[in-house]
Amino acid sequence: MLGTTKPYANRLGLWGWLGGGRWGVERYLYTLHRLTGLGLLAYFLMHIVVTSSRALGKAPWEQAMNAVTGPLFKIGEYLVYVAFAFHAINGIRLGIIELGFGVGQPIEPVYPYRTSLDVQRPLVVVVLLLAAVIVVMGTLNFWVLE
């Protein structure tokens, strides 16, 4: 239970949260999932305020849109899109694993030990490939076709 866990000093600080240590690529995906989540949340909170101007009519809407136009905003918007692609597809992977799929059958802890991460690895590859496809589509849209 969260409320009764014994507190320990956070000796590693921020690196304890960001670093994967000897854990596999999944640990870095966990960090990236959190970082992209925080980025998306920050954008989303501002997005609510900016896009609410549409309720006031054409002039306030165009004024709000003009205030968030330019190369810096376009790069920022592109990064939000990339973060969305990763966070969404990796979120599907996390949901699948949370429900107990794709982690393999439980096995006896006999030496040489095997980790369920070996079973999960193909899912990681699929996730990264799918996210890459969505990013490529967005890249085309943002920088080539539009």
Partner 1 sequence: MMRDQKLWTWHLAAGAVILILLGLHMGIMHLNAVLGIFNAPGTHPVDWANVVARGRSAAFMVSYILLLGAALFHGLYGLRNILIELDPARWLKRAIGVVLLVGGIGLFALGTWAAIAGFSLAKAM
Residues contributing to the site for partner 1 (CB under 8 A): 1-2, 7-8, 10, 34, 37-38, 40-41, 44-45, 48-49, 51-55, 57-58, 61-62, 65, 77, 81, 84, 88, 91-92, 95, 98, 137-138, 140-142, 145-146
Query: Nearest Cα to 117, choosing from 34, 31, 29?
Result: 29
Taking the least distance from each CB to partner 1, the nearer of 45 and 110 is 45
Residue 105: helix, strand or coil by DSSP?
coil
Tokens 């909170």 correspond to: 45
Taking the least distance from each CB to partner 1, the nearer of 47 and 114 is 47
Q: State in angstroms the smallest separation of the CB of 28 from partner 1.
A: 16
Q: State in angstroms the smallest separation of the CB of 41 from partner 1.
A: 4
**What residues contact 21, with CB distance under 8 A and at least 6 apart?**
27
Whole-angstrom distance, CA of residue 67 vs CA of residue 49: 13
Q: Which two tokens stand for residue 68?
A: 């968030």
Taking the least distance from each CB to partner 1, the nearer of 60 and 114 is 60
Taking the least distance from each CB to partner 1, the nearer of 63 and 115 is 63
Q: State in angstroms the smallest separation of the CB of 107 from partner 1.
A: 27
User: 122 phi and psi, to 5 degrees?
Assistant: -60, -35
Q: State in angstroms the smallest separation of the CB of 11 from partner 1.
A: 12
Query: Nearest Cα to 87, choosing from 25, 49, 135, 137?
Result: 135
Q: Which two tokens stand for residue 83?
A: 């973060």
Identify whether the C-beta of residue 92 lies closer than 8 Å to the C-beta of residue 128: no
Taking the least distance from each CB to partner 1, the nearer of 14 and 110 is 14
Q: State in angstroms the smallest separation of the CB of 92 from partner 1.
A: 7
